Chain A
């Protein structure tokens, strides 16, 4: 059932790939705008590059997440899905994994933009991708749960970030710290401990949100 749900989500995302492109352009534009907050000082931009990357990713993720239950809200499709002889948890994990993959892809796509704009190159690319994957996992687990709630409310664009942003502070903090250590150099070898923190945050949220999703969608 989980694979079927995941397949459905990935198919939906593939068919709406124009939306992914739009979100990517939004993220890249955000990265461009952030540099105006600092001014054209190459050294400072490089120093803040990790923070800018994650803020750009965070802002873009609210667009992706807020839209992620769009299809289910049309023609009361959600009720149809819930009538299937399966656990709503499978629906949740299918959606959350699909969102996670999309956000990871978005993060990877934003790396070159960051490297070019902020001169923030690194040789530890696999490590950077690992941090992006773990950080976006921390965004997508609670993000998908809250999107399921806010999708049914009129002002979802306002409410989702309001609920999500305070919650993902630890994930954001750990991601920014790990990313900036990767980019700026890591003499004390601290990246590992931040990655462990991120992974444990992910573990807590992926299990807790899956557990509570049934309550959110049941009538």
Chain B
């Protein structure tokens, strides 16, 4: 019925270690080896964590959406546990993304916040998924909680492109996305390292958190103890 994710108990820890190593090497290259960027100087180095965080935040949310769809079709509890984990990790990444963005924007644009499509969409996404986490806390019945949060996740995820385009028509200032083809090699090595580093960290956190979630579910779904056995 539910899977404890325990077939490979050490796997998340290995991935976690790998992520830390990648992130350490990538950040070292990004901070000390790569040259400062011509126009923005040292501030630009935050890009080595900012851009990977953005990719991975979106990836975590997408994974949550996939889990929600599969759960609604298959009603398998392990997808509920994975969805809960992915939403939580996605919220953390989206929050970090907003913070890093603000730190970068202050010296570059002169303001902490700007009503640009990507910033606004990230903030909206953050609040939408925080709302889903709140919903999960308020519903005690595991079956209802799972279905409702799956429904809310699907709706919130479908909302993302609409928010993006509506804000884009409304106002815009953010830089165009950086991709390895627009960035020179010295810059993309730390970028790639960090992207994989955060990807590994995210995967490991989702696996560990899903394990906690399915343990809780197992506890909640367990039939009440028989009276005779209690005595």
Interface residues of A (CB under 8 A from B): 142, 145-146, 149-150, 152-155, 159, 162-163, 165-167, 169-170, 173-174, 177, 193, 197, 201, 204-205, 208-209, 212, 215-216
Q: How far is the CB of A174 from chain B (nearest CB, A)?
A: 6
Establish whether residues A212 and B134, one from each chain, have CB atoms under 8 Å apart when the complex forms: no
- Which of B132, B147, B151 is most buried by chain A, counting CB atoms within 10 A of its CB? B151
**Chain A residues within 8 Å of B134, by CB:** 159, 162-163
* New contact pairs (5) apart from A149-B152, A209-B155, CB-CB < 8 Å: A153-B138, A162-B127, A167-B156, A173-B167, A174-B166
| Smallest beta-carbon distance B101→chain A, Å | 18
CB of A170 within 8 A of CB of B162, answer yes
Q: Is the CB of A159 within 8 A of B138?
A: yes
B81 contacts the other chain (Cβ, under 8 Å)? no
Query: Bound complex: CA of A169 vs CA of B159, how far in Å?
Result: 9
Chain B residues positioned under 8 Å from A212 (CB to CB): 151, 154-155
- Among A154, A170, A173, the residue within 8 A (CB) of B138 is A154
CB pair B163–A169 under 8 Å, yes or no, is yes
Using known A-B contacts A163-B132, A167-B128, A197-B169, determine if residue A142 contacts B155 with beta carbons closer than 8 Å: yes
Residues of A within 8 A of B124 (CB): 166, 169
Which of A159, A193, A209 contacts B135 (CB under 8 A)? Answer: A159
Chain B 98-130 near chain A by CB (<8 Å), digits 1 or 0? 000000000000000000000010001101101
Q: Which residue of B lies closest to A168 (CB)?
A: B159
* B170–A145 touching, CB < 8 Å: no
Q: Which residues of A contact B130 (CB under 8 A)?
A: 162
Chain B residue numbers with a CB within 8 Å of A152 are 144
Ordered by A's residue number, 23 sampled pairs between the chains whose C-beta atoms are within 8 Å are: A149-B151, A154-B138, A159-B131, A163-B131, A163-B134, A163-B152, A167-B128, A169-B124, A169-B167, A170-B159, A170-B167, A173-B166, A173-B170, A174-B166, A193-B169, A197-B166, A201-B162, A208-B155, A215-B150, A215-B151, A216-B147, A216-B148, A216-B151
- Residues A204 and B138 in contact, CB atoms below 8 Å apart: no
Interface size on B, residues (CB 8 A): 30
The main secondary structure of chain A at its interface with chain B is: helix
Top 6 nearest A-B pairs by Cβ distance? A166-B128, A170-B166, A166-B127, A163-B131, A162-B131, A170-B162
Per-residue contact bits, chain B 192-216, to A (CB 8 Å; 1 contact, 0 not): 0000000000000000000000000
Residues on the B chain within 8 Å of A216, using CB: 147-148, 151
Instruction: Tell me how far the C-beta of A156 lies from the nearest C-beta in chain B, rounded to whole angstroms.
Output: 9
Q: How far is B128's CA from A163's CA once the two chains are assembled, in angstroms?
A: 6
> Which residues of B sit under 8 angstroms from A204, Cβ to Cβ?
158, 162
A197 CB contacts on chain B under 8 angstroms: 166, 169
B72 to chain A, nearest CB (A): 6
Kindly list chain B residues whose C-beta atoms are within 8 Å of the C-beta of A154.
138
Question: Nearest residue in A to B143 (C-beta to C-beta)?
Answer: A219
B138–A215 contact, CB under 8 A? Answer: no
Closest CB of chain B to A202's CB: distance in Å?
11
Interface positions of B from 17 to 76, Cβ below 8 Å from A: 72
Say which residue of B131, B155, B163 sits within 8 Å of A170 (CB atoms).
Answer: B163
B11 at the interface (CB under 8 A from A): no
Q: A162-B131, A167-B159, A170-B162 are in contact. Are A153 and B151 (CB under 8 A)?
A: no
Look across to chain B and name the residue whose beta carbon is closest to the beta carbon of A201. Answer: B162
User: What's the minimum C-beta distance from A146 to chain B, rounded to whole angstroms?
Assistant: 8
CB of A166 within 8 A of CB of B72, answer: no
